[in-house]
Structure 1
Amino acid sequence: MMFKTQNYEVTKGINYEYVYVQANNDLKPTFLFLHGFPSTFYSWRHQIKYFSEQGYGCLAPNLMGYGKTYSPLNKDEYKLKSMVTHLIALLNHLHLNKVIVVGHDWGTAPAIRFVLYNPERTLSLVLISVGYRPPAKMDLDQVLETSKKILGYENFGYWKFFESDDAATIIENNVDSFIDLLFSNNSGEKKINFAPVGKIQEWLMNGQRTIRASYMTEDDYANFRENLLEGMQPKLNWYKAAIENINWDDEKNLDPIIKCPVLFFTGTKDSVCVTALFAGQKQYIADLEVVELEAGHWLMEEKPNEINQGIEHWIKRIG
């Protein structure tokens, strides 16, 4: 589907690019779709089409670092509290009060903070591929050591490459190789050539290619490629910001309990965001439903029907 994009200055000097389809009546809520790395609002194309046809409102911004949204090179500007403030300003601009917040991958970070900072603006929360983890300080080396012990490989080893100063240039210079690996037809490929420390730069420097997943059409591929070539460093700043714990001062006193209903979709073939990592989330969520799909990481693109229908059935259940 073709998206009609709009822009809004959420605060002085900071603009957000977004797609918005208004709900067709007051009884239908609006979804706030937050994409992950290194996607754009385009990754929600199947959901926007489906839910807008059902009469729901759909709001999908490009987050900081993406498209025509404000994309600073300074990692310290990528604070989650600031992003939530930007999203609230966008909702106010569109006269939207409460929304169903939906996040995928990195988009789950601002989605979760949206709920924690503004529970009164939230109807419910949908997390895709990445489940709920309470705000906490991160020690990347400790994370890698623990995952090696538990999983047998470092599922977040690629973070080491993403925080390096030359990562953006290497990705831009080998963009087809990068997309192939992210969207490989072989779900086990990432476990070997993406996740462990040192493997992704090896893949890229050798210009390796593989067969892409069939759900990514030529149009999807062209859109994704153009997005990456607009500049990788702002997108990688999400990782740098997390590694350097720039959110901790804002978040250390946040109540981590989520009081609204939460739906979590997880892919059993996702070797990076492994389902077991989020086993502890139910202690923070009173009303949690978990749906496992036999798929990889890009669930809303690989299994759009299951995601769309799963969300709709759940909305009807929670009323």
Structure 2
Amino acid sequence: MNPADPESFNHRVEKLSTGRTYHFVDQIPNDYNTERTPTLLCVHGFPDLWYGWRHQIGPWVREGFRVIVPDMLGYGGTDKPFDASEYSTKKLCADLAAILDLINVKRAILIGHDWGSYTVGRFALWHPDRLTALIMLSVVYTPPSPKFHSMEDVVKLAPNLGYQLYFSSQRSTADIEANLPKFLSFIYRQPPSTSAPSITSLGSFQTLLENADIGLQPNILAAQEMEYYLQEFKKGMNGSLNYYRTSKFRFDEEKAAGLPSKLRDDLPVLFIWGTDDPTVVPAAISKSHKFIARYQDIALQGQRHWLMHEAKDEVAEKISTWIKASTGFGLSSKL
């Protein structure tokens, strides 16, 4: 498991009971026991891949965890349906449950970053009995809304989410695919100067194109890492952008199911966030306490959005330590 070599991980491609085919990494520790070994199911966000967890997989496996890391729907080696309705959180969560079924794991510890954080939070509502613990990075838990709010309305209330309105438009797919190296360089750039646009100010791709030097700025990825991302995203960006086009589908499904606002009372939940991440609103962290009985948050001082890259060792260590302290199972108990 060499983070610099994607092929050094154990890759699988399987058709799930949901009918969709997923690519995922499945790393099994020494002395694996189906009854006793805890399973971590790691879910990436946008625009990322299973590869976003490359620095944590090895340390967690050496700690004794089984680690499952899929390319989510629309990404990498996983199916990429065109229709945005296929990317509703209910359907994504059904896929994750089907992965657990495939590997014969009844309950897992779910870990998500960015869109993956939102997804695992909803997994805790759609499949509450399949979790041992829940860990969310960079995107805080928000309960189902009793009223539908269009993306336009959301951006009026939270202007820092203006980029999501742009991504929700179909034209963003063509824009980004035509300028993929520049887009990825922008997303994974080093801390920008005050004059450079941030993700929260990205109202259209024109904003990015007008900043001619953005593609020349250093980024947090090594050259071979950036090349891996480029090759995978050259397979198409429509699926990954479809996540931003699902708000009405998600609302309708959650309302029809009567999903609760609160997570399971006995579920331990950890939220990890960077204090320099412009997408994190501290007030939302405080508000989430109302919906989670066993809740802890850890602020990583001076860190931004890409925690698994920029604080790779700290993320691996804090999550492993928290699991052992908070779940009450340890690594030698039955899950």
CA contact (8 A) 1:178 1:204 kept: no
Deviations 1:73-121 (A, max 9, x none): 1111112111111111111111111100000000122211211122211
Q: CA deviation at 1:280?
A: 0.6
Deviations 1:203-257 (A, max 9, x none): 13665424233x4111211111112211011111100112xx1012221211121
Query: 1:303 aligned to 2:311?
Result: yes
CA contact (8 A) 1:36 1:105 kept: yes
Cross-structure match for 1:233: 238
Distance 1:128 1:113 in 2: 14
Q: Which moved more, 1:47-56 or 1:109-118?
A: 109-118
Query: 1:288 aligned to 2:291?
Result: no
Pick aligned residue for 1:14 from 11, 20, 25: 20
Alignment of 1:87-236 (within 5 A): 87-136=96-145, 137-147=148-158, 154-187=159-192, 192-196=197-201, 198=203, 200-204=205-209, 207=212, 208-213=214-219, 215-236=220-241
Cα-Cα RMSD: 2.0
Cross-structure match for 2:275: 268
Cross-structure match for 1:315: 323
Amino acid aligned to 1:263? L
Which TM-score applies when normalising by structure 1? Answer: 0.91
CA contact (8 A) 2:10 2:27 kept: no
For structure 2, the residue ranges without an aligned partner over 5 or more in a row are: 3-7, 329-335
What SS class does the counterpart of residue 246 from structure 2 fall into? helix
Q: Which moved more, 1:121-130 or 1:134-143?
A: 134-143
Q: CA deviation at 1:171?
A: 1.1
Cross-structure match for 1:150: none
Q: CA deviation at 1:187?
A: 4.8
Cross-structure match for 2:333: none
Distance 1:79 1:190 in 2: 36
Cross-structure match for 2:284: 277
Q: CA deviation at 1:168?
A: 1.4
Distance 2:58 2:282 in 1: 28
Distance 2:85 2:274 in 1: 32
Which TM-score applies when normalising by structure 2? Answer: 0.87
Distance 1:119 1:12 in 2: 19
Distance 1:32 1:91 in 2: 9
CA contact (8 A) 1:105 1:128 kept: yes
Q: CA deviation at 1:12?
A: 6.1
Pick aligned residue for 1:25 from 18, 22, 32: 32
Query: 1:247 aligned to 2:250?
Result: yes
Q: CA deviation at 1:3?
A: 2.4
Cross-structure match for 1:69: 78
CA contact (8 A) 2:197 2:207 kept: no
Cross-structure match for 1:86: 95
What SS class does the counterpart of residue 247 from structure 1 fall into? helix
Q: CA deviation at 1:197?
A: 5.2
Amino acid aligned to 1:264? F
Amino acid aligned to 1:250? E
Distance 1:66 1:135 in 2: 26
Structure 1 residues 276 and 199 mapped into 2: Cα distance closer, same or farther (>3 Å)?
Answer: farther
What SS class does the counterpart of residue 200 from structure 2 fall into? coil
Distance 1:292 1:53 in 2: 25
Cross-structure match for 2:68: 59
Cross-structure match for 2:9: 3
For structure 1, the residue ranges without an aligned partner over 5 or more in a row are: 148-153
Distance 2:181 2:162 in 1: 21
Q: Percent identity?
A: 30
Structure 1 residues 128 and 187 mapped into 2: Cα distance closer, same or farther (>3 Å)?
Answer: farther
Amino acid aligned to 2:133? S
